[in-house]
Structure 1
Amino acid sequence: MTPVFSLAERDRRWDLARTFMAREGLDALLVFGEHEDAGPAPVAYDTWFTNGRPGATVVVTAEGAPVSLLPGPMYIMDHLESSRRGETMWIPPENLRPARSSRTIVEALHASGLDAATIGVVGLGSHMPWHPEGIIPYGLWNAVLTALPRADFRPVDLAFGQLILPLGAEEIAVLRRSAAIGDAMVEAMVATAAPGVPESHVYAAGMAAGYRQGTLPAAMHLWSGPDVIAAGPPAWGQRPQEPRTLADGDVIYAEVFANFGGRHTQNQVTIAVGDVHEDFHRAALVARAAYDAGLAALRPGRTFGDLVDAMHEPIDAADGWPFLIAVHSLNPGLSVGKGRGLFSRIPGTEGYPRIADHPAFLPEMELVPGMSFAFEPNYAYGRHLAHLGGTVVVGEDTPIELNAYTAQLLHARGDAA
């Protein structure tokens, strides 16, 4: 049976937000949501309040339903049609507004008597990795500040993000469904990959599996080659060129982003095509050791910094090099593991800018049951990289491992097209 969010889940969230407002001395919250096609790690706190289409700006006060300012009339038509079909909508029609410009924000705050209020803002603070200095446009925010000179606006992004990181029981059920969809996407990719197959066919197989499961996964990251060191969308998705054709000895690196009901999961994928270099297997052993160390450290009462340090112990002890971070939070994407300056270790990087080490972000954050994380340990010997992992949740006693399938080096089993 497909899990859904009930009105009890709605009330749990709204009550939690209002408890937060009272604790922080806030009269209201002003919550900005990123565009619905934002891709991986979207800033979508608006949907936490609305259970609706991403991209709204939400005003939350101490009583009543939030007011949802929408990007355009099509959002209202979607709400109307969903209501007509019998779906339970969290925001009533009278609390919808057909625009989210600075003018409509000011009007909504004025209508709620908030001209001189203390208002917590989600959208001004850091949202890693894409928005380290916030998502609110300068022109919009300058107009709001000019129109409401007596209001006290306070960034609350990090505090509110940590408030909602522990998922409720209904959210974890939805997260499990998202993780299962991610596994199905990877299984389709493994079944398709083979020498002679364009990597675009592997990409298409994975995305199609996600669509068939009844959701809209974000565009995945995918690269392939015998010794490729890269991450991100495939080159043929960015420039006019032919997709690469797989060959024996290649590996496929992919990061698969499943999204079901606004709960996000990630699969970190390395698929061996035929006989691959032995160093891939060696690197996978180090990455798996880091994954297992993370499972052992993911316990209530410990800190995110403890988790990061535990995952890096086997990484630091080996004689190759790590590619990217080993772990970050999900739902929302908030805490980020430490990174190493990597370019000095890759041949052929002369002339490129150096990348400095960076510490973990929010290392002091306490681990609480219900928090979800992307475990993505990676390791390389020379140019032979293994990247594996998936979504893990802090349990009451032991971790809840949702994507064990991709916590290993996978092997293609497809046939050439």
Structure 2
Amino acid sequence: MSAVRGFLVSEFEARVAQAQALMAADGLDLLLLTTEPEVRYFSGFLTQFWQSPTRPWFLLVPRSGKPVAVIPSIGAAAMERTWIDDIRTWPSPCPEDEGLSLLADTITELGGDKPVIGVPSGPESHLRLPLADYAALRASLPDATFRDDAGIHRRLRMIKSEAEIDKIRTACQMVSGVFEDWQSWLSVGMSERKVFRDFKIACMTAGADDVSYLVGGAGLGGYGDIISPPSDRKMTDGDVLILDTGTMHDGYFCDFDRNFAIGTPSAAVRSAYTTAYAATDAALAAARPGATCADLFRAMADVLEAGGAQVGDVGRLGHGLGMQLTEWPSITATDRTVLEPGMVLTLEPGLEFAPGKMMVHEENIVIGQDGAELLTRRASQELPVVH
């Protein structure tokens, strides 16, 4: 596992060069980026200050040359520690002009009088500034063309570099160890809230940077709701517990779950666990370059359906993973995204094995030249039992 933090400048140079080649092919003069992962991908600007919604942040990628940051002055020192050297700031908050005039001037300087500006606009994207400010920006640049970025940002981020994969692998291995050491933080009679708290502490103790995502819960005979906050209900014999975590290392996530029986599990619970495990095996065998996300969905769905599950309305059975907890693509019946080496995915088969009772299993993989490599350490083939 890598202890190296951040990336070499050559990593960012390669990202920008790839983007610029695609921009030239698609007729774009600039990319306008406004969200945390977009800005970080091309700059290396890593901070939790994005959790404050007060200030907008902008990064412009021109068709040639290095990106230019247009950011609130409070972020100048942190941005100066990246490879970006053209950093333009304004004192913020300033609702009367929250960086818009500075941004417009920079766009004109970099893109000319009639720039064609690409903005990520497809699924799973958003614009991180007020709609009124976006309208004002466009009005201040009447000869500019604002259009979709042709999926450039999404295409680049979908294929991870070896350095990116190593960060995700580190997160996966770290949390795999915490799950495997469950006897040190999990026991009968604990409340859901304490389980969540102790698991997060164990991950942080193991070296995680943050455990910003943890969902799950316990239910008698199986769980149903796995996204609500944990309660003070104490786990008892017959419960099934799931913990699904997005733990971060150096700006990259793992995202996988583990299941535990509290006391002796029923035959139905054991069977559901076996089915979900077998569905993951089927996806691991199918995950290779040239296959599609729909192929992975079908491989898992066939096993789940053979086990008595209905998968028509479950949504997806996995997704992309990286700088964000969930990324493009989705493993659905209709997603024809072709798998390529360097894609990092979750495999997440789930089934309802009784009314209101679910079993979900999740692992993280990277697509290699010859097939899938597990980034997580595989869950126990038998459902762990907590006595």
For the criterion TM > 0.5, the same-fold answer is: yes
Partner Cα distance (1:397, 1:202) in 2: 39
**Alignment deviations for residues 145-165 of structure 1 (CA, whole Å, 9 cap, x no partner):** 111121111212644312321
Q: Paired residue for 1:75?
A: 75
What residue in structure 1 maps to residue 53 of structure 2? none
Name the structure 2 match of 1:292: 281
- Per-residue CA deviation, residues 176-221 of structure 1 (Å, 9 max, x unaligned), is 1121233244345553222211222221122223323141232211
* 1:61 aligns to 2:41 (yes or no): no
Q: Report deviation, 1:313.
A: 1.3
Deviations 1:47-82 (A, max 9, x none): 111112254421011333212233x444234446xx
1:287 Cα deviation after fit: 1.0
The answer for unaligned runs of 5 or more in structure 1 is 35-43, 84-88, 237-242, 339-358
One of 239, 258, 268 as aligned partner of 2:247: 258
2:95 paired residue number: none
> Relative to structure 1, is the Cα distance of residues 105 and 408 closer, same or farther in structure 2, using a 3 angstrom cutoff?
farther
How far, CA to CA, are the matches of 1:320 and 1:259 in structure 2?
33
Instruction: Summarize deviations over 1:221-263 as a string: whole Å, max 9, x none.
Output: 1211213201214254xxxxxx221112211122100222222
Between the aligned partners of 1:385 and 1:263, the Cα distance in structure 2 is 28
Aligned to 1:304: 293
2:378 to 405, 408, 414: 405
Please, which of 352, 355, 369 is the counterpart of residue 396 of structure 1? 369
**Which residue number corresponds to residue 19 of structure 1?**
21
Distance 1:316 1:264, change over 3 A: same
TM-score, normalisation: structure 1: 0.79
| Cα distance in 1 between the residues matched to 2:347 and 2:88 | 38
Aligned with 1:375 (options 323, 344, 347): 347
Q: Which one of the candidate residues 100, 103, 108 is aligned to 1:102?
A: 100
8 Å contact kept, 2:26–2:150: no
Q: Which residue of 2 aligns with 1:342?
A: none
Q: 1:73 to 1:209 in 2, by over 3 A?
A: farther
Select the residue among 179, 184, 187 that pairs with 1:191.
184
Structure 1 residues 115 and 275: CA distance shift in structure 2, 3 A: farther
CA contact (8 A) 1:193 1:199 kept: no
- Alignment map for 1:230-241 (pairs within 5 Å): 230-236=225-231
Q: Is the 8 A contact 1:372 1:391 kept in 2?
A: yes
User: How many residues of Structure 1 are paired with residues of Structure 2 in the alignment?
Assistant: 363
Larger strand percent = 2
Aligned counterparts of 2:234 and 2:250: Cα–Cα separation in 1: 34
For 2:236, the equivalent position in structure 1 comes to 247
Contact kept in structure 2, 1:30 and 1:57, CA below 8 Å:
yes
The alpha-carbon distance between structure 1 residues 233 and 215, as it changes in their structure 2 partners (threshold 3 A), is: farther
Q: Distance in 2 between matches of 1:192 and 1:182?
A: 13
User: Is the contact made by 1:181 and 1:258 (CA closer than 8 Å) also made in structure 2?
Assistant: no
Q: 1:268 to 1:321 in 2, by over 3 A?
A: farther
Structure 2 counterpart of 1:215, from 209, 212, 215: 209
Tell me, what secondary structure is at the counterpart of 1:404?
A: coil
- The answer to which of 223-232 and 110-119 deviates more is 110-119
What is the rounded CA distance, in whole Å, between the counterparts of 1:33 and 1:373 in structure 2?
Answer: 22
Aligned to 1:116: 114
Percent identity over paired residues: 23
**In structure 1, distance between residues paired with 2:371 and 2:23:** 32
**How many Å apart are 1:397 and its aligned residue?**
0.3
Q: 2:318 is matched with which residue: 324, 327, 334? A: 327
1:126 paired to 2:123: yes
TM-score, normalised by the number of residues in structure 2? 0.85
Post-superposition CA distance 1:277-329 (Å, at most 9, x none):
22111111221121111111111112222222222111223323455531111
CA RMSD of aligned residues (A): 2.5
Q: Distance in 1 between matches of 2:297 and 2:170?
A: 27
Report if aligned partners of 2:193, 2:230 keep a CA contact under 8 Å in 1.
no
Secondary structure of the structure 1 residue equivalent to 2:225? coil
Q: Which residue identity lines up with residue 97 of structure 1 in the other structure?
A: T
Contact 1:372-1:392 within 8 A present in 2 as well: yes
Runs of 4+ in 1 over 6 A off after TM superposition: none
Contact 2:169–2:376 (8 Å) recurs in 1: no
Indicate which of 253, 264, 267 corresponds to 2:256: 267
2:343 partner amino acid: M
* Alpha-carbon distance between aligned partners in 2 of 1:26 and 1:79, rounded to the nearest angstrom: 25
Distance 1:7-1:197 versus aligned 2 partners, 3 A rule: same
Query: Using the alignment, how far apart are the partners of 1:206 and 1:29 within structure 2?
Result: 40
> Which AA in structure 1 matches 2:349?
P
